[in-house]
Chains A and B, each alone.
Chain A
Amino acid sequence: MSSAASEPSKSLPFVEEVEVSGHIIDSLLLPKILDAVTGGGGAFRIKQINVGQGRHEPSYAVIDVMAESEDALADLLGQISDHGAAPTHAQDCRREEADLDGAFPEGFYSTTNQKTEVRVDGKWIEVREQEMDCGIVVEGEGAAAVPRCVPMLNVKQGMSIVIGHAGVRVIPHQRDHEGQVFEFMNSNVSTEKPKGAAVREIAHEMYRNRKEGGKTLIVGGPAIVHTGSGHHLCGLIEQGYVDLLFAGNALATHDIEQSLFGTSLGVHVDRGHLAEAGHEHHLRAINRMRRVGGIAEAVRSGVLTSGIMHACVKNDVDFLLAGSIRDDGPLPEVITDAVAAQEQMRAKVRDVDFCLMIATTLHSVAVGNLLPAWVKVVCVDINPSTVIKLSDRGSFQTIGLVTDVEPFLRVLVQELESLEAAGAD
């Protein structure tokens, strides 16, 4: 499938979204519809077009039809409906029963991370568990119908899956009703932008979130430990700014390595030079955790007495470690089944209000894919490509900062301290 969008020939005030499907290219139905719109004094914008690749594969287009007046729009819609262009909002969503486990019926509606509603029996109902790149399953009928996002893998035969765009509407997140926070920022990533103001805004957000009982998720990579910033994160955890930590085997391993041996990847974090046989330290750290039966047990038995993971256990901060193919060990808590890890992450992010991603591409992108667009996300990485990947989720709620981890966390902690000292609202 290919995708394209066309710029409007002109912009007119009255707009209705229509969809048309079938062999609309070969049959010239699409050009005919578009000609009818422009010939009738209207304008159009192709929002989505999937062109069938095979001879028997249908194509599909979603088009905004625009007109000068409501009457003119109604006229145009009437004309083009004869050629199969149907308003997507004037009808109930179409559904088809899943014929297989683990796969959608062809033509399924593919979700975005924006708030979405589907129409069932003439009523618009908000889709639950909003997540991008899923389908929508509708459970129950009529007034009791409950639509929710369902990942492909979780499809069960017989589920009622939404097909096409008809009866589905996406409500883009509004900037203004969220107040002033984050307002000055945008998702443009630049290494040249001043960081101080941005970090202050992030501190404000975390402070407010803690105060209002919101849930803050940290997604962290091992650079937090390598750069000697582990203690900053410990401070945030101890101060109650962190409710949930997602990481991989590496962050936890090097954090524990540092706690047990004072090194991270064999390098003395405080002195910056290699320890003798330091390359073995991380493996010995993992081994010790495996011998005692895990991180929590190591904390309880006094084997592990400091560091990020220690702080999590001591402060009842929930953590999830997702494995990857290059992991040593791994630590006993690491979930090595990627699908199981994704499923648990999905369940845990449901009520997250704020997410801070620090120095990890893999885990940041994974979490970014799970979060709805209205969750504020800050992505901090020395590598602009990671930040851009996250910003490309298409939400202004994602803010990217290209900076080293240590100064970022140091300034963040300072900003939070001054907010606390001032008792800021």
Chain B
Amino acid sequence: MCPPDHFRIQYEINPWMDRTHPVSHTRAAQQWNDLRALLEKLGAQVSTLDPVEELPDLVFTANAGMVFQNRVVMAHFRHAERQGEVAHTTAWFEGQGWQIETLPEGCYFEGAGDALFCGDTLFAGYRLRSDVGGLQDLGQMLGVRVIPLELVDPYFYHIDTCFCPLDEKTALYYPEALDDYGRRVMEELVGDLIAVTEEEARRLCCNAVVVGRDVVMNGASPRLVEALRARNFQTHATPLDEFLKAGGSAKCLTLRLDGEEAASWKRSE
């Protein structure tokens, strides 16, 4: 995670961002600290990246890269506003002894924000941020099946805003963020799909952090809590509305370094 010391709405690169609706620093810091405390209480160990003044979105570490075993595939941001983050995140990973991978020049890839394992398949979002060629290269590089899914709603610009694998066979998703092809693929490949409503999706419920059977998100409807409980998941709501102003929530604020719960490689190591 990266503390939100410099988090603010400095530019507008998605429909959530509006410079006339500034962030409350105090509230943002409180919400971030609460999220961190909750994750630690659930058993997570949190490492932090130093914030950088001119990089307000560095706080969304999910986009730094995508972790696969001891390798991290670094992001290549579509928007110039975020491209400066890569040098800092790369330096951090290098310092921690990770094997750094990069995709070929000319393709955009926005890290774990657009590439989530569910089982042994990597579900990847394209068109709005990452592009499909980069995702195919990623699959080839890692030797895994990549399923590129076109994101059709600009509010759900990364796949982690509309899809959240909970375990190898279960996931939350917002069907309207995908086209017919994407929905068919999702229904075919994910055993148990829990569709969220538009209201839940707008609260970025799919942008959740999963720790074991605990699911952390920015507020959840009783319906969703019950749907998760029926599958033996416990929901933990923690307010993150200051970050929603920039289009991010719990998942965006974290990067799971030891592999997401739903990734089968995590268990086969």
Contact = CB atoms under 8 A, between A and B. Distances in A.
Interface in A357-396: none
A56 B145 contact: yes
Interface stretch (A26-34, A139-147, A261-269): A26-34
30 contacts: A21-B136, A22-B132, A22-B135, A22-B136, A22-B140, A22-B148, A23-B139, A23-B148, A26-B147, A26-B189, A27-B147, A27-B148, A27-B149, A27-B181, A27-B185, A28-B181, A28-B182, A28-B184, A29-B181, A55-B145, A56-B143, A56-B144, A58-B140, A82-B126, A82-B131, A82-B132, A82-B150, A83-B132, A84-B133, A84-B136
B146 interface: yes
B127 interface: yes
Interface of B: 120, 126-127, 131-133, 135-136, 139-140, 143-150, 181-182, 184-185, 188-189
A56 B120 CA distance: 9
Interface of A: 21-23, 26-29, 31-32, 55-56, 58, 82-84, 86, 107
Contact of A83 (B139, B150, B189): B150
Contact of B148 (A29, A55, A56, A107): A29
A58 B132 CA distance: 14
Given A56-B145, A82-B127, A22 B184 contact: no
A68 to B, nearest CB: 26
Contacts of B127: 82
Nearest to B144: A56
Contacts of B131: 82
Contacts of B140: 22, 58, 107
Given A26-B145, A28-B184, A58 B136 contact: yes
A26 B124 CA distance: 13
Contact of A31 (B135, B148, B181, B182): B181
B260 to A, nearest CB: 18
Given A32-B181, A55-B120, A56-B143, A86 B133 contact: yes
B185 A26 contact: yes
Interface centre among B133, B144, B188 (most CB of A within 10 A): B133
A294 B133 CA distance: 60
Nearest to B136: A22
A277 B127 CA distance: 82
Given A29-B148, A31-B181, A86-B133, 9 more contacts: A22-B135, A23-B146, A23-B147, A26-B145, A27-B147, A27-B148, A56-B143, A56-B144, A84-B148
B145 A29 contact: no
Contacts of B184: 28
B161 to A, nearest CB: 19
A86 B181 CA distance: 20
Contacts of B135: 22
B147 to A, nearest CB: 4
B206 to A, nearest CB: 20
B154 to A, nearest CB: 15
A45 B126 CA distance: 26
A261 B133 CA distance: 70
Given A83-B132, A84-B133, A23 B150 contact: no
A105 B149 CA distance: 28
Contacts of A26: 145, 147, 185, 188-189
B65 to A, nearest CB: 20
Nearest to A83: B132
Nearest to A26: B147
B181 A22 contact: no
Contacts of B126: 82
Contacts of A84: 132-133, 136, 148
Nearest to B127: A82
Nearest to A31: B181
A29 B184 CA distance: 12
A357 to B, nearest CB: 42
Interface centre among A22, A26, A29 (most CB of B within 10 A): A22
A171 B133 CA distance: 27
Contacts of A55: 120, 145
